[in-house]
Structure 1
């Protein structure tokens, strides 16, 4: 059955349909970046709220600013912007159709249609999932980079910008001129302090062409921080076939784990949907939740990813079935990560770690090791290296975390330990392969990537520990070295 408004009433009884009249929804949110995560997360929470009979003026208008977004727009418009979301619990699949999005703005160079949509008074939130690497952060400073070519191009032509941030600025400028209150900009990407990062990108870009407007945005527009969490694999033939087996002809189904979490700073001057009624946590302590998640979950992903990749393991749950890798994860998290994670209101860190291990072990999700290994040059400085730095600052050992960094270096050599070629898996892959080859003879070369390691790369204790780990991996293999760390 092809998804459409006309077929909703005829869905198989095993598939939940939207529990509200979609024709009565009106848009209140423009969301830029209609990937799987958004449709399994923010859109699901809104779908739950609408089913309570509330917030029907907060429906989503989808948007994109990249050429690949055109294909997603065509796909979703062909099925009336409906998406099937399949939750993959161990031994059980549960499907629902999400109807929270009611339109998809035309994707075009210069973003005129997007700007026009965002300038409308009924749009009170603009949210984003534009990937962790999409915020134009200078890796050397960790702050917004005004020198990126995309940013320079928008600064020179602010009336027809091609980035999401340029479009947001143009819409805010138009609203200000019309006497319309600004919308709230809500980042939903897995980026530390994501509200601050988004604010820096918007204000930083604006300052290049209109400093006075930049000052107004900085003083007036809200950029709440948030922490988002749900494991959501990429969609491929397996996921499309899964939907078909359940009776759905969906060209872009979403699969995900049952668990989801959303923690948001309650800073929405233009109003917001009552998402606390469907499980969203509004708190001033987002940073504490964020640190917990990034250090334990995202850091944990890295801890199993690179030994798994070197061992030619395909799925994440298969890596968790490997006793050595599972023990490595448990030891590094318990001994080196949990002790430096600040307390989180209402959370037991040991219980949270146990939940993470359980989630990683779910075979139904079929998340891939390769996905976890992706973009290490962007993820390691966020998920692993800060933990090493905190351990070093506290005078505490970081042997396991440094060993993990050496495993990443070995992975970036471009071959697994069986000799199989590892296909490029990072925007900076060529550079990483070159430096990894150099590091095989001189391990310190890896740490000299200052944009990734910063001052930590010249710390004598870190250099010594990393050198020992990498030399040992090359001499005796990763499994032997991990076993030694574990005392086996």
Structure 2
């Protein structure tokens, strides 16, 4: 980014630099208003998009590549808006199952292209269910997007819809299935939905523990959203999503998917001691970090920026270790880390409970399945 700022818009190389350069062209051609709509799948995407563009624009100003008038143009939301949105459609990596099904229908040139990151192909896996909520901030007018099923609303509603999804009604359930799927040897999410104990666990997580504190965005009913997720989306065998994909970057997800809900309980003065699914999901993640499955066999954890540090913290714990003192010494620096969970789980009253659940999950081969069954049956 620093090199790009120094070089200026004519040599923009990053995606944000290219977008900013296009805005320079628009400004110089008459500065017509425009809405820069982000459908990136993360919270407050419009704000982050705007901040990225303004960072580049101000850097170009400092180096004399643009004028203050251009920066003022991009900064004025009545001229250049950055609507917030919530997008939801599960789209995993292209899978061999879909490749085979399409070949049977006569399609060609579908070879999977594997890289060190995502897998690419001439097709995409996705699902029928989809949601797109967009803040209605279009300074130059817009097409009738609502006629295509887009939910148009104000910024607060768009943010509430996103918060509903990522903190309560989808993402927490997905992450719970991801870590337990890896531990129990599953390679597809739909396979996990045939395990009644895992289904009971995420039902308790969604309906009993998340819904009581979620803020209803009104444009999507939270309970109906979970109903569809459990009945149609997660069991969909035509959507070959993998728990290993969802388990990536879990350390970056837990403050949003679990910390947010716990903070909502605490801010409302509600007792969290009776929660089961949320602490069991967190304990399952700790057990996952040992990289040993429920059969006692090693597996490769999904990429995570904190993986090496977290595994080093748990290095003294092997499968079968249940000593409370040793477990506390190993996991307490993680569970008390507000940078990971957005709160200290001991101060919240759940640290010791999670330690106990982790000990049960770690008792030996078969303990993961047995522990989940114990808590949900």
Asked whether the two chains share a fold, i.e. TM above 0.5, the reply is: yes
Q: Describe the SS at the equivalent of 1:384.
A: helix
Matches within 5 A, 1:192-271: 192-210=43-61, 212=68, 213-219=70-76, 220-251=79-110, 252-271=122-141
- Cα distance in 1 for partners of 2:187, 2:181 equals 8
The alignment covers a number of residue pairs equal to 337
- Correspondence for 2:151 among 281, 284, 289: 281
Q: CA deviation at 1:465?
A: 2.9
SS of residue paired to 1:446? helix
Question: Aligned-pair distance for 1:331?
Answer: 0.8
Residue in structure 1 matched with residue 271 of structure 2 by the alignment = 396
Deviation track 1:418-471 (CA, whole Å, cap 9, x = no partner) reads 233332412423233223436755211223554322343562523333323323
Alignment of 1:299 onto 2:172: yes
Shift of 1:357: 0.3
Structure 2: runs of 5+ lacking an equivalent: 63-67, 111-121, 318-326
The answer on whether the counterparts of 2:263 and 2:343 sit within 8 Å (CA) in structure 1 is no
Whether 1:322 and 2:181 are equivalent positions in the alignment is: no
* Distance across 2 between alignment mates of 1:202 and 1:228: 21
- Report the CA distance between 1:166 and its aligned residue: 2.0
**Superposed displacement of residue 235, structure 1:** 0.9
Q: CA deviation at 1:186?
A: 1.4
Q: Is the counterpart of residue 485 in structure 1 residue 366 in structure 2?
A: no
Matched residues in 1 for 2:200 and 2:336: separation?
A: 30
Structure 1 residue 179 corresponds to structure 2 residue 36: no
Alignment partners' CA distance in 2, 1:479 and 1:193: 37
Mean Cα deviation higher: 370-379 or 423-432: 423-432
Match of 1:418 among 262, 283, 295: 295
Q: Secondary structure at the match of 1:390?
A: helix
Counterpart Cα distance in 1 of 2:303 and 2:337: 15
What 5-or-longer segments of structure 1 have no aligned partner?
1-150
Structure 1 match to 2:240:
366
Deviations 1:45-102 (A, max 9, x none): xxxxxxxxxxxxxxxxxxxxxxxxxxxxxxxxxxxxxxxxxxxxxxxxxxxxxxxxxx
Q: What whole-Å deviation, never above 9, does each CA across 1:267-301 have from its counterpart, x for those lacking one?
A: 12234333222211111221222122222111111
Q: Distance in 1 between matches of 2:129 and 2:203?
A: 20
Q: Is the 8 A contact 1:187 1:225 kept in 2?
A: yes
Give the superposition deviation at 1:379: 2.4
Q: TM-score when scaled to structure 1?
A: 0.64
2:285 maps to 1:408: yes
Conservation of the 8 A alpha-carbon contact between 1:381 and 1:452: yes
Q: What is the aligned counterpart of 1:169 among 10, 20, 26?
A: 20
Higher strand share: 1
Assess if the C-alpha contact under 8 Å between 2:98 and 2:125 holds in 1: yes
- State the match for 1:451 in structure 2: 339
The partner residue of 1:348 within 206, 221, 225 is 221
Over 3 Å counting, the alpha-carbon distance change for 1:207 and 1:480 in structure 2 is farther
**Range moving further from structure 2, 249-258 or 296-305:** 249-258
Closer/same/farther in 2, CA of residues 413 and 452 from structure 1, 3 Å limit: same
- 1:367-404 CA deviation, whole Å, 9 max, x = no partner? 11112212212322332321222223333324421221
Alpha-carbon separation, structure 2, partners of 1:156 and 1:459: 47
TM superposition shift of 1:226:
1.1
Contact 1:443 1:466 in 2 (8 A): no
C-alpha displacement at 1:346, in angstroms? Answer: 4.7
